[in-house]
Structure 1
Amino acid sequence: MPLKLCANISLLFREVEPLQRMDAARASGFEAVEIQFPYEQSLDEWQQRQSSTDIRVPLINVPAGDLMAGGEGLASVPQKRDDFRRAVDSCAEFAEGLKVDCVNVLAGRCLNDKRRLHHLDQFMHNLDYCADQMKSLGVKTVFEAINTHDMPGFLVHSVEQSREILRNINHSNLAMQYDVYHMSRMNEPVLEQLPELLSDIGHIQFADTPDRNEPGTGDLAFTEIIGLLREKEYRGWIGAEYNPSDNTDNSLGWMKTHFPEYHS
């Protein structure tokens, strides 16, 4: 079976408006897309576009409040528990409507070290809640570690933390989202880690390091990583989540080389 590849249309195909990016991805050979935060457009608009392009949506994020504007987000702040639950409700509507495989919960930042343990405890309670809510829809809940160079203060930033959270929650509908870009930026040994982590991983994303552009622009061992995932017969989705160094179509050389089954 081929690896399952999708394009993150929050970063790729920004040459066109969000709703047109499904069409652009389809024209470039992708059969699936992931969307970080689809909520600025209506579900009906996305569904119409999804139907016309016959494209899958494996992943969306749960709304994250003020996280992308530099705030702490929703998922780990004790005082925002009710806001997080409303965000899960919104996400569930889109997840069901778009028939997604996974929803990603961003832990957010903790801007006061004295509150870190409280934030971590709230995050685990919220993950457990989200995993419960999504299970009835047949949707997996995932969470990811994000590097602290790009997001200083991010609560979860290592594989060790991620594995500990999985062990502590021990929920059948919860898995790790592994972003090779973020873990490479944190000097995690990606090639050594992946084989032992695959049973805990629900979704993988990639970008080259250190500048988060397309594969081939930095020092990421992309050939070896893709070869390993093929060898281990990884069955989850792999999301291209990078900032193209040129227009998106000109950045897709890696696709022709490493995913010839998808390249148009």
Structure 2
Amino acid sequence: MVRLAANLSMLYGDHDFLDRFEAAAVDGLDAVEYLFPYDFEPSVLRQRLDDNGLTQVLFNAPPGDWGAGERGIASLPGREGEFRTGIDRALQYAHDLGCGQVHVMAGIVPESANPSEYRARYLENLAWAVERAKPTGVRLLLEPINRRDMPGYLLTRQREAHMAVTGIDPSGLGVQLDLYHCQISEGDLTTTLGRDLPSGRVAHVQIAGVPDRHEPDRGEVDFAHLLGELDRLGYDGAVGLEYRPAADTSTGLTRFRQYIRDRGVSA
């Protein structure tokens, strides 16, 4: 059985953020993720989780100045101190929320820069962060993101992410496999699952319809087939619903679940 997790940064946009926890629970979901928790005290978020019987499965470490277009600082020169402070803050939130995974965004490489220098700094910062996280039991995640949606993003390919994990520490570092991004950057999704799931390096999966990032039952990808593959391969993590609803979240979610049930996948 596939376990679905609502991404509260994208779903239930007609609700105030703190009310989205209850909305997800009413729709029968028992797990949530979102981009960032830092606008709220951990105790406030934990209360919403507990009140609604929800588990927090993922959030992101501080990304730098999101409003100014920064998408992570792990690879950016001169930001090492801010990066380390951000990791410590994320680990505290993870502890308070009972969340075992934190995504660390790589950052945008300027067109005039040498990507190899950014990549080297990225790996150095990740190695430090993994050692910092080890005593907490939190696994840090890397997510390849397509450059159509995020131009200049450092990490775009599954192979790059898996090489980083293997080179640093697979027990403390994992891959966040967003099948929406993977389809746009690489395709060949069934083969990717069959190749990478057995490695144990894939710690979290996310889905959205391609190309418009709407409900996963619409677009060019057969997500019922892919969810069935996750089940067959023994994936036991959550599948994050990180899409932009085309209309009402609950209506679209009901339709998507019926679509996969009709194809023999329970969720």
Shorter-normalised TM-score: what interval? over 0.9
Secondary structure of the corresponding residue to residue 78 of structure 2: helix
The aligned amino acid for 2:30 is E
Identity %: 31
In the alignment, which residue of structure 1 is the partner of 2:204? 203
What is the rounded CA distance, in whole Å, between the counterparts of 1:100 and 1:210 in structure 2?
A: 30
In the alignment, which residue of structure 2 is the partner of 1:236? 237
What is the rounded CA distance, in whole Å, between the counterparts of 2:71 and 2:16 in structure 1?
A: 28
In the alignment, which residue of structure 2 is the partner of 1:54? 53
What is the rounded CA distance, in whole Å, between the counterparts of 2:120 and 2:72 in structure 1?
A: 15
In structure 2, do the counterparts of structure 1 residues 72 and 235 end up closer, same or farther at CA, with 3 Å as the change threshold?
A: closer
1:162-201 counterparts in 2 under 5 A? 162-198=161-197, 199-201=200-202
After TM superposition, give the deviation of residue 206 of structure 1 in Å: 0.5
After TM superposition, give the deviation of residue 67 of structure 1 in Å: 4.3
Q: Is the 1:103–1:141 Cα contact (8 Å) retained in structure 2?
A: yes
**TM-score, length-scaled by structure 2:** 0.93
What is the rounded CA distance, in whole Å, between the counterparts of 2:216 and 2:84 in structure 1?
A: 37
What is the rounded CA distance, in whole Å, between the counterparts of 2:169 and 2:49 in structure 1?
A: 34
What is the rounded CA distance, in whole Å, between the counterparts of 1:68 and 1:57 in structure 2?
A: 25
In the alignment, which residue of structure 2 is the partner of 1:219? 220
Q: Is residue 21 of structure 2 the alignment partner of residue 19 of structure 1?
A: no
After TM superposition, give the deviation of residue 68 of structure 1 in Å: 5.6
Secondary structure of the corresponding residue to residue 108 of structure 1: coil
Task: Say which is worse superposed, 41-50 or 139-148, in terms of deviation.
Answer: 41-50
Q: Is residue 84 of structure 2 the alignment partner of residue 85 of structure 1?
A: yes
Task: Say which is worse superposed, 156-165 or 142-151, in terms of deviation.
Answer: 156-165
Task: Say which is worse superposed, 143-152 or 224-233, in terms of deviation.
Answer: 224-233
What is the rounded CA distance, in whole Å, between the counterparts of 2:103 and 2:87 in structure 1?
A: 10
In the alignment, which residue of structure 1 is the partner of 2:98? 99
The aligned amino acid for 2:240 is G
Q: Is the 1:131–1:171 Cα contact (8 Å) retained in structure 2?
A: no
What is the rounded CA distance, in whole Å, between the counterparts of 1:54 and 1:114 in structure 2?
A: 47
CA RMSD of aligned residues (A): 1.6
Secondary structure of the corresponding residue to residue 238 of structure 1: strand
In the alignment, which residue of structure 2 is the partner of 1:258? 260
1:28-177 counterparts in 2 under 5 A? 28-67=27-66, 69-71=68-70, 73-177=72-176
The aligned amino acid for 1:152 is P
Summarize deviations over 1:179-201 as a string: whole Å, max 9, x none. 00001111331111111101220
Q: Is the 1:8–1:239 Cα contact (8 Å) retained in structure 2?
A: yes
What is the rounded CA distance, in whole Å, between the counterparts of 2:205 and 2:145 in structure 1?
A: 13
What is the rounded CA distance, in whole Å, between the counterparts of 1:195 and 1:113 in structure 2?
A: 37
Runs (4+) of structure 1 exceeding 6 A deviation are none
For structure 1, the 5+ residue unaligned runs are: none
Q: Is the 2:72–2:104 Cα contact (8 Å) retained in structure 1?
A: no
After TM superposition, give the deviation of residue 154 of structure 1 in Å: 0.3
For structure 2, the 5+ residue unaligned runs are: none
What is the rounded CA distance, in whole Å, between the counterparts of 1:230 and 1:68 in structure 2?
A: 38
Task: Say which is worse superposed, 99-108 or 123-132, in terms of deviation.
Answer: 123-132
What is the rounded CA distance, in whole Å, between the counterparts of 1:97 and 1:133 in structure 2?
A: 17
The aligned amino acid for 1:88 is I
Q: Is the 2:179–2:206 Cα contact (8 Å) retained in structure 1?
A: yes
After TM superposition, give the deviation of residue 237 of structure 1 in Å: 1.7
